Chain A
Amino acid sequence: MFELGPALSHLFQVMRSFATSHGVSPVLAILISKIIQTNIIILLVSLVPMLLVYAERKVSAFMQARLGPMNVGPWGIFQTLADGIKLMFKEDVVPSGADWWVHFMAPVVAVAPVFVCYAPVPFGQGLTPVDLNTGVLFILSVSGISTIGILLGGWGSGNKYSMLGGLRAAAQLVSFEIPRVLSVVPVLMWYGSMSLRTIALAQQGRWFNIIPKWFIFYPVIGQVAFIVFLISSVAETNRTPFDIPEAESELVAGFHTEFGGMKFALFFLAEYAYVFLASAMATALFLGGGDGFLLPNGIIPSWIWFLLKTFAIVFLFLWFRWTYPRLRVDRLMQFCWKFLMPWSFVNIALAGALVLVRMR
């Protein structure tokens, strides 16, 4: 009914023609419109974590027989905003044993890649900021840079617990990166593209007019790939049951023990932005992106479908966090290397066989 993508591009078209008709050079107009588009993404990346923090507090509250934030605004909806303002005005404490530069750079390095990672995500029809040809690989690789930020935080704090947290993070994130990449490979093989937009568009259509042709509904390969991707995404975002790097009962707060105020907020922002990013990726790769179901096409615009599915997966993340205890370090590694990896390899082989069958 109301597709955001065409409307936005039309708006930019009108703005650009208005500017050029009033004597602004076309190069400048394009540049400015690009800057505005970039800022929309940055705004989104900054707002989504706030929403997720609120969702997390409310969801966890209802899972734990309590109410959650209730005082700031109706049902406490402005609580995150208030917290953000508080964090902004907090004193920036750097421990005397810390390495100032590393301590300063750690949250920056952790948060910067997130903004870039949102570029190839297809938020709906005509709403892909940059349709990269290597979109999936791009997201997976660039999000790996954040690990460096965590390591810097662990090293720069001058604290044994932080250091242990950093070391654990390095081991965990490097290990889980592998099944995460491998779990996506069947999708790429099947659709023959690495562009998230192409993959999402290719999943439109129905079997027998009922079952959507989403990748998750492909027998065996779809489900295995989705589960492996989901589990390793939870591990990549350092959330319970895989929050070993920041295990609060063991390492106090792990790599961000010595970070306060805005620096801590940046780490937090990165974590939630990655949760949303992983969910958005899962939606585009496995759940058909903006493809609707049950209702006839067009009643609900694709970007709302996309957000709905994404938030459904975000809810899974929250659910895991508030139900499961934490795994032990060695068990975590065993789980990655002895369970996730073999299954994703088997899955790739299966997907290859299926692709061959389809080619015949």
Chain B
Amino acid sequence: MNSTTVPKTAAEVFPQKPPEKGMFISLGPQHPSTHGVLRVAITVDGENVTSAQPDIGYLHRATEKLAEKRTYPQIIVLTDRLDYLAAMTNNWSFCLAVEKMLGVQIPERAEYIRIIVGELQRIASHCVFLGTYGIDIGAFTPFLVAFGRERERILDLFEEICGARLTYNYIRIGGVMADTPVGWEKKVRDFVKEMWGHITEYDTLLTYNPIFMDRTKNIGTMTPEMAIAWGVTGPNLRATGFRADVRKDDPYGLYSKMKFDIPIGKQGDCWERYWVRISEMRESLKMIEQCLDMIQPGEWMAKLPKVYRVPVGEGYGHLEAPRGDLGFYIVSDGSPSPYRMHIRAPSFINLQALQQLIVGWKVADVIAILGSVDIVLGEVDR
């Protein structure tokens, strides 16, 4: 985009007049398949999309500004509300940044618990994606199977360790909030064992369904160059065939000890974005099994004072969240609260690629593409 042609006012971005050719459709903010309060201003010619403009900000809560008035442990609560489908990884990413600035050593048990809950969270998040994507394409049953059955199991597991089902505030600076309850690890192991079968079930129900493949194969293709130019990360980038994963490229926690593959696609169409996520669920299961084998009893929290001041300076912690590279950039002036915090939200950045990704496809494909990018509006608007 040329900087001189950037539109200034809302009227320029979203013309009120009907376009010369075709029709102007405002998809959202109250539309069943925009997954929250997103509005996409689309002009169509017949069934073909000629331009698309995402219009965001309906869910803006000024998280970054709020963080400047809170102490570091209090900010973890705010991060829960970003990507509310993957609150564990949000907590973790923020803690990574602060721990880096503090220079604390995390106990090994805490690291393993973090990986277990992080990967469980990834599975839960992809379950939501799978279910809602099924609804976008018109299949209703996968939603109630993935969202209502498997994700509930994971949420039950999370409820046992931290008491909350959506906003956990479980991963704390220096470790995790509490040790796992008795018998929890066995439950996780049972769940993992069952989950292998459930993923095969998804494959028969949706992944290799001819109609589903027809709707998603070769639709909304994205080249690696385009993905990198827009800053797309996560499964969306990997689907284009570009091998990039923070867990491998910049290992955090104990990921360097884990054995896992990075599933990549070939041409970055909707089906591959979907398939990469399904395969990632399998890799996550593998990692959870490894952690359960290696985890030992011990401390779960590093020794930290009640009130601490982070040394003056800046820190950046990032990790592979279910939706991509989630980063927290923190500037500290030595006071109990950060001077400035910035969140590199993968959903927000992936969403930007939509305006190029949608153009040229049919109206029905818009929904397929929008769903396959898998955004969470809580994170987009922050």
Contact = CB atoms under 8 A, between A and B. Distances in A.
Interface of A: 60, 63-66, 160, 164, 240-241, 243, 247-250, 252, 321-331
A253 to B, nearest CB: 8
A248 B139 CA distance: 11
Interface in B245-285: none
B9 to A, nearest CB: 24
A330 B211 CA distance: 13
Nearest to B139: A325
B214 interface: yes
Interface residues of B, number: 31
Contacts of B366: 250
Contacts of A325: 134, 137-139, 206, 209, 211-212, 215
Given A160-B25, A248-B32, A66 B138 contact: no
B56 interface: no
A122 to B, nearest CB: 35
Contacts of A321: 140
Contacts of A64: 140-141, 144-145, 148
B334 to A, nearest CB: 51
A323 B139 contact: yes
Contacts of A249: 32-33, 135-138, 367
Interface in B135-155: 135-141, 144-145, 148-149
A248 B33 CA distance: 8
B47 interface: yes
A330 B136 CA distance: 17
Given A160-B23, A160-B25, A241-B211, A65 B144 contact: yes
Nearest to A241: B211
Contacts of A326: 137-139, 211, 215
B199 interface: no
A321 B140 CA distance: 8
A322 B141 CA distance: 6
A322 B47 CA distance: 27
Interface string B104-139: 000000000000000000000000000000111111
Contact of B140 (A160, A250, A322): A322
B33 A250 contact: yes
A328 B23 contact: no
Contact of A60 (B32, B140, B148, B149): B140
